[in-house]
Amino acid sequence: MNKQSNIYTTIYIIVLVLIVGTALAATSLALRDRQQANADADKMRQILAAAHITPPADEIISDYTRHIIETKVINSKGETIEGDAFAIDVAAQVKLPADQRRLPVFVCRLDNDQLKYILPAYGAGLWGPIWGYIALDADGSTIYGAYFAHQGETPGLGAEIEKPKFCNEFTGKHLFKNDIFMPIAVVKAGQVPQGDEDYVDGVSGGTITSKGVGDMLSNSLTPYEAYLKTLSAK
């Protein structure tokens, strides 16, 4: 076959694409388990971070197993339902009506034997998704810790939601005021919300991302109200 012909060039390209595609597919399959293990470990790290537990990379799984003593899935009535809390796609659940959601709960026991209840949150920032975890005291109202992350917020602006300075503002805030459920508001520095809810200052220069955090907390945590009331009743 004439190597200078169009037919030869076309066949050569097709064969090359098939070889490269097959190699990439084989590599992806070979690494899939490792990639999933890394993703799971990172999720464990984030859950623990909400409770101020920051193990080294090689101890994340062991610390998660030691501190997370129970996981459960509940519905908006606070009832436990079947399911794997760790495997639930929170991003998909927050798009559903509250009464149709499957809500994960991670029960964490600290080294001092105190129990914390960690709830996931998912929402939208300026440039992409944002998410996080909120750790609550056993009263179901007081925030013990918070962890937030993002996919593509602007460095130095919206991306500051992942920094301890912002996350630590939530510590000690309450979700219930006078027995009324009120998710934490995120407001512009120097302002106060119109209601009586606890609030934190938003990120300077990251107004839209800050608003996204507030909306995320309201949408993600409100369906947990009935369950959190059962914790308070205990």
**Phi and psi torsions of 165, nearest 5°:** -55, -40
Is residue 96 included in any domain, yes or no? Answer: yes
* 150 in Cβ contact with 46 (< 8 Å): no
Number of compact structural domains in the chain: 1
Residue 141 three-state SS = coil
Is residue 109 included in any domain, yes or no? Answer: yes
Domain of 83?
47-233
Is residue 189 included in any domain, yes or no? Answer: yes
Is residue 41 included in any domain, yes or no? Answer: no
Is residue 11 included in any domain, yes or no? Answer: no
Is residue 72 included in any domain, yes or no? Answer: yes
Is residue 26 included in any domain, yes or no? Answer: no
pLDDT tens string, the chain, 234 residues long: the values are 555 666 666 776 777 777 777 766 666 676 577 788 899 999 999 999 999 999 999 999 999 999 999 999 999 999 999 999 999 999 999 999 999 999 999 999 999 999 999 999 999 999 999 999 999 999 999 999 999 999 999 999 999 999 999 999 999 999 999 899 999 999 988 888 888 899 999 999 999 999 999 999 999 999 999 999 999 877
DSSP 114: -
pTM score > 0.75 for this model?
yes
Is residue 167 included in any domain, yes or no? Answer: yes
| Closest to 78 measured CA to CA, from 234, 229, 232 | 229
* 181 in Cβ contact with 228 (< 8 Å): yes
